[in-house]
A and B are shown apart, each in its own frame.
Chain A
Amino acid sequence: MITEKRIQVKQPCLIWLLGIIQLKESKWLLGILRFAFAVNISMVLTGGSGTVVLAQTQNKKPVKTLDGEQLYVINCTRCHTERYPTERTAAQWKTIMMHMQVRANLPPDQVKKVLEFLKENNKS
């Protein structure tokens, strides 16, 4: 899906600028006039909304959620060395993870994923 980036542009006073040009022709005034003219045209094209489409960008890629193993690495090796899933039974890991949820202030959904990872890999 393509999204549009829009900015609000204030329309310069073309009549005043045209008057200036009549009196004294110079390159920079001509540049401003050209810019104002372009803006005016775009406003006409956009129905007077005063917005200019600057860019069209791709939507950001869907955000990946972290799996149990990644969360285990992120949270469980910050304070202590790696504890192997085979060190405890599934029921013991459930109790220990409850303790770690409190002690390390971990979100419950992350705890759940880490627990599933430990259970899948404890082979008991």
Chain B
Amino acid sequence: MEKLMKRMVFTVVILSLAGLCCVPKSWAVTDDEFLALQKQVQEQNKQLQVLEKEHQEDQAEIQSLKEQQGQTKQKTEEIKKTADQAVEVASKVQPVSAALKQPAENHNFVLAGDAEVKYVKTGGANKAHGTFQMADFAPVFLFRANDKVLFEAGFDTTIANGNAGTGGNNTTFNLTFAQIDYLFNDYLTVIGGKMILPLGTYNERSAGWLNKIADDPLPRSLLIGQGVGVQLRGSRPIGNSGQMITYSAYTTNGAGSIDETTGNATTVSGAHTINNFDPGGNVTNMHRRPSEGGRIGWFYPWKPHYDVELGLSGQTGAWDKAGKELWTAGVIDAAVHISPYFETKGEYIYTREGTADFGTVEPRGWWIQSGFKLSAFNWDVPLVPSTELVFRYDTIDNPINPIIGSAQKSYRYTPGIVYYITNTLWLEGSYEKIYYSGGAQSADQWLVQLSYGF
């Protein structure tokens, strides 16, 4: 056994020595390789030193920035403290409402408005050759002072030629409206200035480029368009379907008399007779008492593009300098939208005017206008999908027409077409046929207008 053990140990030793002697040549490292490896390690050490140095520099910069940030924060707090002290001092002298403390980035100025150019050719009683009758530029300036205050003003710059075949033209510059709006709360806005009056909805929502026919409905000439005064208006939603009640009440200087009397008619330039009732020009005095008016409306949408609106409005006040005679107006307005393609709207207008020469006269009239967009048919033809057919019927009944001195009733049919070049550039064309009572010759005219809203 002992001999066996000795033999085993001897064998292991011999095998180990043999293994050591049998190391493959590939395991051996040459001097060149060793030097290359040594050089690589040295270069890596150098790179590591550079990175360590850069890290230390970054840490120093971060520390410096932190110190600067701290100093800036301290300065900001000092400035804020100073500003608060200044406001406190100022508020003691002149209290500043919360609405005006908002930062300047709320202030915003927007230019909107519209422009039109119109061509007219008349026939019948007023037959004449065609003419480019009118060019109009009507900018609207909006300035939002803050979330509660808006200044807005609209101008109408118009060059209009005389009737075709006659000489003369005139350029007018009118201030259509200029008002301050204060959004008092969710249900009430206070307005002051020269305002578009809410007698019906035409003047507020359908005038200018928004009208799909290039002239106003006949009975609109019976109403006052604007007035200088103050107005309270607002709306109250009913439920969550979009239904709402709208309301407005105002007081203004009211209508005026061109010659300051209550005669139904007056003459200019010694011979030309015109209506003495001035719905827009004389806005400088109240004639001893202001005019009052208002509108209440109800709007109900049963779904988008399907809605109805009804409104009742009126105004009353003196119209002569002496303040003796009243002018009163009442308007019923209605509008219906059925689908994105069809709409109908209209107004019934009643006025009552006290005059010195004809007693109380009651000019009245009504109009209705419908539009149908041909895109409803989904026809794949050029131009048609961007076209809308429109039609208007309007009539005015004047018991005493101031110009002719007797009763006159007029009624007019106007088919037309609107081509939407873009959503804000419209080409409108219409043909009007107007008839007069009492055997007077009818008249007709073609109207083409290019309107742009911006």
Q: Do A and B come from one complex?
A: yes
| B420 CB contacts on chain A under 8 angstroms | 81
Decide yes or no whether B110 CB sits under 8 A from chain A: yes
Find A95's partner among B108, B204, B235, B240 (CB 8 Å cutoff).
B108
Decide yes or no whether B160 CB sits under 8 A from chain A: no
Check B186 against A102 for contact (C-beta < 8 Å).
no
| B246 CB contacts on chain A under 8 angstroms | 105
Query: In the bound complex, how far is the Cα of B246 from the Cα of A73, in angstroms?
Result: 19
Number of interface residues of A (CB under 8 A): 35
| A78 CB contacts on chain B under 8 angstroms | 205, 307, 309, 335, 337
Measured between C-beta atoms, what is the minimum distance from B205 to chain A in Å? 4
Check B183 against A63 for contact (C-beta < 8 Å).
no
| B267 CB contacts on chain A under 8 angstroms | none
Decide yes or no whether B191 CB sits under 8 A from chain A: yes
Per-position binary interface string of chain B over residues 139-164, scored 1 when its CB falls under 8 Å from any chain A CB and 0 otherwise: 01011100000101000000000000
Check A105 against B423 for contact (C-beta < 8 Å).
no
Measured between C-beta atoms, what is the minimum distance from A76 to chain B in Å? 10
Decide yes or no whether B216 CB sits under 8 A from chain A: no
Find B240's partner among A64, A75, A81, A104 (CB 8 Å cutoff).
A64
Check A98 against B424 for contact (C-beta < 8 Å).
no
Check B150 against A98 for contact (C-beta < 8 Å).
yes
Per-position binary interface string of chain B over residues 101-138, scored 1 when its CB falls under 8 Å from any chain A CB and 0 otherwise: 00000001110100000000000000000000000000
List B384-400 residues whose CB lies under 8 Å from chain A: none
Query: In the bound complex, how far is the Cα of B244 from the Cα of A108, in angstroms?
Result: 12
Measured between C-beta atoms, what is the minimum distance from B144 to chain A in Å? 4
List A73-98 residues whose CB lies under 8 Å from chain B: 73-75, 77-84, 88, 91-92, 94-96, 98
Asked, given contacts A63-B240, A79-B205, A80-B453, whether A102 binds B304 with beta carbons under 8 Å apart, the answer is: no
| A70 CB contacts on chain B under 8 angstroms | 242, 304
Decide yes or no whether B189 CB sits under 8 A from chain A: yes
Check A77 against B305 for contact (C-beta < 8 Å).
yes
Decide yes or no whether A61 CB sits under 8 A from chain B: no
| A102 CB contacts on chain B under 8 angstroms | 150, 152, 181, 183, 189, 191, 233
| A71 CB contacts on chain B under 8 angstroms | 242
- B418: nearest residue on chain A (CB-CB)? A81
- B239: nearest residue on chain A (CB-CB)? A63
| A95 CB contacts on chain B under 8 angstroms | 108-110, 142-144, 150
- B297: nearest residue on chain A (CB-CB)? A105
Measured between C-beta atoms, what is the minimum distance from B64 to chain A in Å? 38
Check A84 against B305 for contact (C-beta < 8 Å).
no
Query: In the bound complex, how far is the Cα of B177 from the Cα of A50, in angstroms?
Result: 65
| B233 CB contacts on chain A under 8 angstroms | 102, 105
Measured between C-beta atoms, what is the minimum distance from B176 to chain A in Å? 13
Check B301 against A81 for contact (C-beta < 8 Å).
no
- B235: nearest residue on chain A (CB-CB)? A105
Per-position binary interface string of chain A over residues 21-51, scored 1 when its CB falls under 8 Å from any chain B CB and 0 otherwise: 0000000000000000000000000000000
| B110 CB contacts on chain A under 8 angstroms | 88, 92, 95-96, 99
Decide yes or no whether B236 CB sits under 8 A from chain A: yes
| B248 CB contacts on chain A under 8 angstroms | 105
Check A107 against B237 for contact (C-beta < 8 Å).
yes
Measured between C-beta atoms, what is the minimum distance from A88 to chain B in Å? 8
Decide yes or no whether A9 CB sits under 8 A from chain B: no
| B453 CB contacts on chain A under 8 angstroms | 80
| B191 CB contacts on chain A under 8 angstroms | 102
Decide yes or no whether B47 CB sits under 8 A from chain A: no
Asked, given contacts A78-B335, A92-B108, A102-B181, whether A108 binds B186 with beta carbons under 8 Å apart, the answer is: yes
13 chain-A/chain-B pairs, Cβ below 8 angstroms: A66-B240, A74-B301, A74-B307, A78-B205, A78-B337, A91-B108, A96-B112, A98-B183, A102-B183, A105-B234, A106-B235, A109-B186, A110-B242
Knowing that A82-B423, A98-B150 touch, tell me 20 more A-B residue pairs with CB under 8 angstroms. Answer: A70-B242, A75-B242, A77-B340, A78-B337, A79-B205, A79-B206, A79-B210, A83-B424, A95-B108, A98-B144, A99-B110, A102-B150, A102-B233, A103-B204, A105-B246, A105-B297, A106-B235, A107-B186, A107-B236, A108-B186
Q: What residues of chain B have their CB less than 8 Å away from a CB belonging to chain A? A: 108-110, 112, 140, 142-144, 150, 152, 181, 183, 186, 189, 191, 204-206, 210, 233-237, 239-242, 244, 246-248, 297, 301, 304-305, 307, 309, 335, 337, 340, 420, 423-424, 453
